[in-house]
Amino acid sequence: MRLTREELEGAAFGVTSGVITTLAVLIGVNLATGSRLATIAAILTVAVADAFSDAAGIYTAKEAGRMSEAKIWSVTFTSFFAKFIFSLIFVIPLLILRAITAVAVSIIGAFAILFLLGAFVAARRGKSPLQSAVEHSLIGMGVAFLSYILGQLLANLRQ
């Protein structure tokens, strides 16, 4: 199946949003609660609620433009499924690995996805894949760092 340019934009948006949002939730909730169940519940909530929210936002943004109704729905569904699937991926390590290992694997996986997506998007635009890959990864690192700080602050409330 070959995606149209618009669908590819929706997929890139969904993957980026899914990875960054879920990474933040994974780090923050895991640190704040120390609970595998709470972390999985938060990720599942993000997978559903934020995927619908992002899809509604994409739908509204595209509806405001001059795109056909069929293309609008196509981009909307592509964005939704990309966000939903890439959010759910982060549950798998939590189900099969020890919590600390699962978080480490998820962080490495998130940065790998962001790096590859950045390189892919840049290559399609004729720009430097390495520069774009690093930029995408740095955004993820910034979010991870802020989520870590927030998780640590909230963990102190437990004590």
pLDDT of residue 7: 87
pLDDT of residue 67: 86
pLDDT of residue 35: 93
Mean residue pLDDT across the chain:
92
pTM equals 0.89
Let me know: does 120 contact 79? Beta carbons within 8 Å: no
Helices assigned H by DSSP within the chain: 5-33, 36-45, 51-63, 69-88, 91-96, 99-125, 129-158
Closest CA to 74 of 124, 15, 3, 16: 3
pLDDT for residue 1 is more than 70: no
pLDDT for residue 150 is more than 70: yes
Higher pLDDT, 103 or 66: 103
pLDDT digits (tens, 9 = 90+) for 9-48: 889 999 999 999 999 999 999 999 999 999 999 999 999 9
